[in-house]
Amino acid sequence: MKTAVKISIVALFSALCAILTYFTKIPSPTGGYTHIGDVAIYVAALLFGSQIGGLVGLIGPVVTDLLVGYPRWYVTLIAHGLQGVIAGFARKKNTLLQFVLTFSAGVVMSLTYFGVNIFIKGLAPAIASLFRDVFGQTLISVIISVPLAQAISKRIEI
């Protein structure tokens, strides 16, 4: 794939991620917010692999964090960057593996925030945030992303 095409794909999915994150964010009582912006990360990773997924995970969520004033955007870089890279390993795999790997990527993202939240918020709020991230954000995003990416991949040659 040509560099210009890769840059365009990363830009498109990063923008989609930022838009989905910004317009679907639900503030959390423990800080941060829940959203479905991860759908763009997962779809990019499933269609184009770890490199594109990782870059989308680095750019899209951080843009939103900066727009909304989320103070721990630097954690977002690590959490969502890893999420995109790990989800990219599911590219061209069977449906079960796509669900497992994308869900695992979301758990890694959630655990990254959890590790930081323990020190910032304390154990109880960090556990509440972890459950919100895994079940309110990751699970829903995975359920949307895998069938969506499969439908797209059947209609275009990647």
Please indicate whether residue 133 or residue 30 has the higher confidence score (pLDDT).
133
SS3 of 122, please?
Answer: coil
Please give the backbone phi and psi of residue 43, each rounded to the nearest 5 degrees, phi first.
Answer: -65, -45
Alpha carbons 89 and 69: distance in angstroms, whole number: 32
3-51: pLDDT as tens digits: 999 999 999 999 999 999 999 999 876 777 899 999 999 999 999 999 9
List 27's β-bridge partners, or say none: 33
Sign of CA dihedral 113, 142, 95, 10: negative
| CA 61 – CA 30 distance, rounded (Å) | 19
The residue to which tokens 């560099």 are assigned? 3
Q: How far apart are alpha carbons 31 and 58 in whole angstroms?
A: 21
Instruction: Tell me the average pLDDT of the chain.
Output: 95
Question: In this predicted model, what pLDDT tens digit does every residue of 65-76 receive, in sequence order?
Answer: 999 988 889 999
Dig out the tokens for 42 from the structure: 């997962």
Distance CA(128)–CA(45), nearest Å, equals 28
For 3-155, CATH number out of 1.10.3720.10, 3.40.50.2000, 3.40.1670.10, 1.10.1760.20 equals 1.10.1760.20
